[in-house]
Structures are given as C-alpha cells and as structure tokens.
C-alpha cells in the first residue's frame, strides 16, 4: 500500500506542477504588445522567447506583416511573446539594433538577440524562422 500511495503522491505533484506552469502562461499576451525605448529591455528579458516587430505607420510591407504577427501571437501564446515597436517613435532602440530596413523582426531568446528577419514574407516562410528557437 505504501508504494501505491508514493506513486499517487508523485503523480499529484506532477499534475500540480503542470497546472502551475500553465497558470503562469495564462498571463502571457495573445496579441503583440506595444514596445517603446523605455520598455524594450525589460520586455525582451521578461519571457524566454520574444519577437519584436519593428515597423512604421507609413510602411506598406509592415502592414502586410501585421496580421501574420497577430496570428502568430495568438497561436503561440504561452510559448512566444510578440511585441511591436514603431521605429519613428523609438529611434534610440532602432539605432541600437541597426535597423535600416523595415519591417524587421528581432528575435530574442533568454534576453539575447539571436536573429534579425528583414523584410515582409508570408507566414509559411516566417514561422519556421521563429519557431526553431522554441
């Protein structure tokens, strides 16, 4: 009987750990978060995998990427967090990361820049470039 109780307790702890992990991820955004020069560093270090869409209001290719980023944010909630940063309003960060063309997606893993994706592309091309860091 002791062995059965030990297994039951172990299983209960495992289930509670999973529930706790999922509870934490419930607070993750399911839409891109507006990021500024002031919030950029904190945002990119807060989650294990972060993608920041660097864009501008006048940029037509940026508007083509927007719905793709919004879909990915919904589909990968709890795994990837997406942000949007208007480069015209946040020039300090844009210069710091050498953003010369938009749209540019900056991919951060554990707070470190791991890749820049420059230019508009369809979801089937963009998604694997991001998800390989999961």
Fold of 29-131: Glutaredoxin (3.40.30)
Ranking 5-14, 42-51, 66-75, 124-133 by mean pLDDT, the lowest is 5-14
Query: What pLDDT is stored for residue 10 in this prediction?
Result: 82
> What digits encode the pLDDT tens for the residues 85-117?
999 999 999 999 999 999 999 999 999 999 999
What integer is the mean pLDDT of 50-70?
98
DSSP string, the chain: -HHHHHHHHHHHHHHHHHHHHHHHHHTS-SSPEE--TTTHHHHHHHSSEEEEEEE-TT-HHHHHHHHHHHHHHHHTTTT-EEEEEETTT-HHHHHHTT--SSSEEEEEETTEEEEEEES---HHHHHHHHHTT-
Mean pLDDT, the chain, rounded, equals 92
pLDDT at position 51 over 50: yes
Query: What pLDDT is stored for residue 20 in this prediction?
Result: 60
Active site residues: 59, 62
């Amino acid at each position: 009987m002791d062995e059965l109780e030990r297994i039951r307790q172990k299983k209960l702890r495992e289930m509670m750990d999973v529930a706790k992990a999922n509870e934490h991820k419930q607070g993750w955004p399911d839409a891109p978060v507006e990021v500024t020069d002031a919030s950029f560093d904190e945002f990119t270090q807060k989650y294990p995998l972060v993608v920041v869409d660097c864009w501008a209001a006048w940029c037509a290719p940026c508007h083509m990427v927007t719905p793709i980023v919004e879909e990915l944010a919904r589909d990968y909630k709890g795994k990837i967090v997406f942000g949007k940063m208007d480069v015209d309003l946040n020039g300090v960060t844009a210069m710091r990361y050498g953003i010369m063309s938009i749209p540019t997606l900056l991919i951060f893993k554990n707070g470190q820049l791991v890749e820049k994706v420059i230019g508009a592309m369809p979801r089937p091309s963009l998604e694997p470039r991001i998800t390989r860091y999961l």
